């Protein structure tokens, strides 16, 4: 077999493994998935826990293998990703050295990257899906930043999309792990040029807004088919990123709501202090945009919404002003019989409170319960953004208040305390009913 080579950053040719080995450590190798500038990725299988995995193997260059700095750089991805456990970040399971091979073992994603959806000659992704991807990536970045990890290479090919549409950040190979004693001295320019922030190009100190800039560039490309700046020569591209305003998405695609275009524009501002400062802040805005897109023609007037909530026991202790606060951080939704409120298996952090109508709860397609006016559903997802364990379908015309946890920070402290007090009491009451039913069945 002919050797396959790549070129390292030093300019030397460096060999990939000539052919997939049958095993790497305890892992069975089942074929090549892809390759890049620093290694090759195989699909593997872990016979101990019976699951597919992805095996990323470093380039086989004897000079590089003896280079301690290169070894550290390769395993930096394992260090960074190993700190992170989030549903929208590719999980890292293991890392090691087997003979001449240095490898890391990651979650195998049955899907593809966002790159095919970003090409100009491809049908544009639905706006709701773009916003959903942005929201979940923002939540993942907020989590990573909270752990002190800057990704520094957010781009379409580093975001996987599973078959069910869940985005997952991957490739933390140039991530930076920050500490209280962070050295903010100038550093080398690394990253993917079309998605690099102005401060990244300028070798200036970077923080969460830099990763969010890159995410904004990805969203721009998902919406328009091109990155914000498309200069062929790197010096010209860098000058444009540092000095030219990004094009307006709404000018390029008039069907994109101005609120979404303005959000992307803010992500792409030159001054990091003027961008969103945290992933949570961005997620809050995108969550509202998603609900607005999803509920076109379904939203209910403010007076009707307030009157419907006022009649519920849940809001007995709330003033009209506090109900208005909750409405400002929520969305009133209407559902026709047969429409789905919650889908089993999806990851969401919204709570639904039925203001009118009834809904069936299904597990594996089989009915397990009925919700009526005043009932809550989705409490666990609201608290932990866990995967939904059941499907909820409208049995009659339903009016429901959808409360997203990411938006509750917009509510005043007194209103939050009152909401969570009633929420906790309601949850305890439902758990006590469930316990009583189980006790009766076992008697």
Residues with catalytic roles: 153
The pair of three-digit structure tokens given for residue 215, joined into one six-digit string: 């995410």
Helices marked H in 96-197: 115-118, 127-146
Rounded-to-integer distance, Cα 417 and Cα 50, Å: 45
Tokens of 101: 């091979």
Whether 425 and 405 have beta carbons less than 8 Å apart is answered as: no
Q: How many CA atoms lie within 13 A of 250 on its CB side?
A: 9
Both tokens of 37, joined, read: 């500038």
Distance CA 272, CA 212 (A): 9
Q: How far apart are CA 31 and CA 21, in angstroms?
A: 9
* 377's tokens: 């559903």
Q: How far, CA to CA in Å, does 390 sit from each of 11, 225, 341, 346? A: 54, 36, 11, 9
User: What burial class does residue 204 get, using C-beta atoms within 10 Å of its C-beta: 0-12 exposed, 13-18 middle, 19+ buried?
Assistant: middle
* 3-state secondary structure (DSSP) of residue 237: helix
Nearest to 100 by CA among 211, 44, 18: 18
Q: Which two tokens stand for residue 24?
A: 């790497």
User: φ, ψ for residue 32 (rounded to 5)?
Assistant: -85, 140
Strands 39-46 and 51-58 turn out to be: antiparallel
Q: Are 39 and 173 in contact (CB under 8 A)?
A: no
Query: What Å distances lie between residue 88 and 279, 286, 328, 385, 419, CA to CA?
Result: 13, 16, 27, 11, 28
Q: Is 264 left (phi over 0), alpha (psi -120 to 50) or beta?
A: alpha
Helices (H), 86-126: 115-118
* 213 close to 197: Cβ distance less than 8 angstroms: yes
């Amino acid at each position: 077999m002919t050797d396959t080579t790549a070129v390292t950053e030093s300019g030397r040719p460096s060999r990939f493994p000539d052919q997939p080995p049958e095993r790497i450590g305890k892992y069975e190798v089942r074929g090549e998935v892809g390759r890049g500038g620093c290694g090759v990725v195989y699909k593997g299988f872990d016979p101990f826990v019976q699951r597919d995995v992805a095996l990323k193997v470093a380039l086989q260059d004897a000079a590089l293998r003896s280079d301690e700095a290169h070894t550290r750089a390769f395993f930096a991805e394992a260090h960074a990703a190993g700190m992170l456990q989030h549903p929208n970040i590719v999980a890292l399971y293991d890392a090691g050295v087997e003979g001449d091979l240095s490898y890391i073992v990651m979650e195998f994603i049955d899907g593809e990257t966002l790159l095919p959806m970003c090409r100009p000659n491809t049908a544009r992704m639905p706006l709701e899906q773009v916003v959903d991807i942005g929201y979940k990536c923002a939540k993942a970045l907020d989590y990573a930043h909270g752990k002190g990890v800057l990704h520094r290479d957010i781009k379409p090919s580093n975001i996987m999309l599973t078959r069910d549409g869940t985005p997952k950040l991957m490739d933390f190979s140039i991530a930076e792990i920050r500490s209280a004693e962070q050295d903010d001295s100038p550093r080398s320019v690394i990253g993917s040029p079309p998605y690099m922030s102005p401060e990244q190009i300028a070798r200036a100190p970077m923080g969460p807004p830099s990763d969010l800039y890159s995410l904004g560039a990805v969203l721009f490309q998902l919406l328009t088919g091109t990155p914000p700046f498309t200069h062929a020569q790197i010096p010209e591209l860098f000058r444009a990123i540092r000095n030219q305003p990004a094009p307006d998405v709404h000018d390029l695609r008039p069907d994109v709501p101005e609120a979404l275009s303005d959000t992307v524009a803010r992500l792409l501002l030159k001054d990091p202090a003027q961008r969103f400062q945290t992933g949570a802040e961005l997620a809050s805005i995108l969550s509202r945009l998603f609900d607005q897109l999803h509920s076109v023609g379904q939203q209910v007037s403010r007076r009707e919404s307030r009157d419907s909530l006022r009649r519920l026991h849940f809001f007995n202790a709330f003033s009209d002003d506090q109900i208005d606060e909750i409405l400002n951080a929520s969305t009133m939704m209407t559902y026709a019989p047969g429409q789905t409120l919650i889908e089993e298996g999806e990851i969401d952090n919204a709570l639904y409170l039925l203001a009118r109508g009834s809904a069936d709860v299904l597990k594996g397609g089989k009915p397990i319960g009925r919700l009526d006016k005043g009932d809550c559903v989705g409490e666990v997802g609201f608290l932990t953004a866990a995967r939904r364990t059941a499907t909820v379908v409208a049995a009659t015309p339903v009016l429901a208040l959808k409360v997203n946890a990411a938006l509750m920070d917009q509510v005043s402290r007194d209103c939050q305390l009152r909401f969570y007090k009633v929420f906790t009491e309601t949850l305890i009451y439902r758990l006590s009913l469930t316990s009583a039913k189980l006790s009766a069945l076992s008697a």
